[in-house]
């Protein structure tokens, strides 16, 4: 799953521009209160390497390929200049939903996190119900379980939440066979199934499409090795896609926006409005939603913000060591 058309830059070149930042979040997300990222500057502009800290070096290699692809290769021809995006609602109490949605002005679609380990299905129902109340009947709601339900739990939850007119359910279960089974079991509800982790964390990202386990694919540039690798996967599956982020800084979101701009058919609002989840960012012009969309453009970090949000020396060393190990894997391919 490579996206590189040229020699990988030497490690010294990457280290020469590397900045490690730690950005606070408004609300806990994926168990995180802050997001760390390593930013690099290539000949084509700034780029991002930010695999989550629990990912091993082998999985992180795709993220580095993506960073090099975006920073050292020209971007494909853009078919659009702005990308409609969805709001993202973390697993917050229902009374905080309005506050969260207010950070996504003009967004007609909301993705709501469900299946959090410290909450119940009743909490999920209350959260989704409040999103429906705020958005009104014309709004679109998709839910994301991050693969945390088993098939029986997923069937029960989808049945309970389907009354809110769901656009789709993202990754209700973790494995491809489980997705195929829940898609069959809940077909009578006419709620599409979307696959995320089954695509980006799989050694065979096409398996979910071949198995008929999903109606929609959620595509993320960094985990899939970059814009070109992601476009190749999209072209091979024939399924509609939603381009989304991995809780990136605005630099990483720019990569996602350029991917979305290159997809021939873009039928869903994209999950690229997540700069609104960050209390901090690396640029004075973050890619925040305006009228429900973000522009397709490169992002240049602000030197003062890079310094202000610089990670601790210990965390910087950890990331630079990770970069070196991952670079060795990529150059050995």
The sign of the CA dihedral 231, 233, 234, 240 is negative
> CA-to-CA distance for 151 and 290, rounded, in angstroms?
38
**Catalytic one of 24, 111, 201, 220:** 220
196 is in an annotated binding site: yes
Catalytic residue among 24, 96, 111, 113: 113
Known binding residue 170? Answer is yes
Q: What is the rounded CA–CA span in Å between residue 247 and residue 63? A: 13
57 assigned ligand-binding residue? no
Does the active-site annotation cover 113?
Answer: yes
- Asked whether 95 and 133 are in contact (CB, 8 A), the reply is no
Extract the annotated binding site for Mg(2+): 144, 170, 196
Residues involved in catalysis = 113, 220
Extract the annotated binding site: 144, 170, 196
């Amino acid at each position: 799953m490579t996206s590189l058309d040229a020699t990988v830059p030497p490690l010294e070149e990457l280290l020469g521009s590397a900045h490690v930042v730690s950005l606070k979040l408004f609300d806990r997300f994926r168990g995180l209160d802050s997001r760390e990222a390593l930013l690099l500057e290539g000949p084509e502009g700034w780029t991002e390497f930010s695999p989550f800290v629990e990912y091993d070096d082998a999985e992180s290699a795709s993220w580095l390929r993506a960073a090099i692809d975006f920073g050292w290769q020209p971007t494909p021809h853009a078919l659009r200049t702005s990308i409609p995006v969805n709001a993202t609602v973390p697993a917050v109490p229902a009374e905080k939903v309005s506050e969260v949605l207010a950070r996504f002005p003009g967004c007609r679609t909301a993705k709501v996190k469900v299946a959090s380990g410290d909450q119940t299905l009743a909490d999920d129902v209350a959260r989704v119900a409040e999103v429906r109340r705020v958005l009104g009947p014309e709004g679109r709601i998709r839910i994301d379980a991050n693969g945390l339900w088993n098939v029986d739990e997923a069937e029960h939850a989808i049945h309970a939440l389907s009354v809110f007119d769901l656009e789709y359910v993202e990754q209700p279960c973790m494995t491809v066979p489980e997705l195929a089974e829940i898609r069959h079991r809940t077909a009578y509800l006419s709620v599409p199934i979307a696959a995320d982790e089954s695509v980006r964390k799989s050694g065979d990202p096409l398996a979910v499409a071949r198995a008929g386990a999903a109606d929609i694919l959620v595509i993320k540039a960094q985990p899939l090795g970059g814009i070109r690798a992601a476009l190749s996967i999209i072209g091979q599956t024939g399924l509609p896609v939603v381009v989304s982020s991995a809780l990136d800084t605005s630099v990483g979101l720019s990569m996602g926006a350029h991917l979305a701009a290159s997809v021939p058919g873009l039928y869903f609002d994209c999950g690229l409005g997540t700069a609104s989840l960050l209390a901090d960012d690396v640029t004075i012009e973050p890619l925040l939603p305006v009228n429900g969309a973000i522009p397709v453009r490169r992002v240049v970090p602000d030197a003062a913000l890079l310094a202000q949000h610089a990670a601790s020396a210990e965390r910087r060393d950890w990331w630079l060591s990770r970069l070196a190990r991952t670079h060795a894997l990529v150059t050995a391919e």
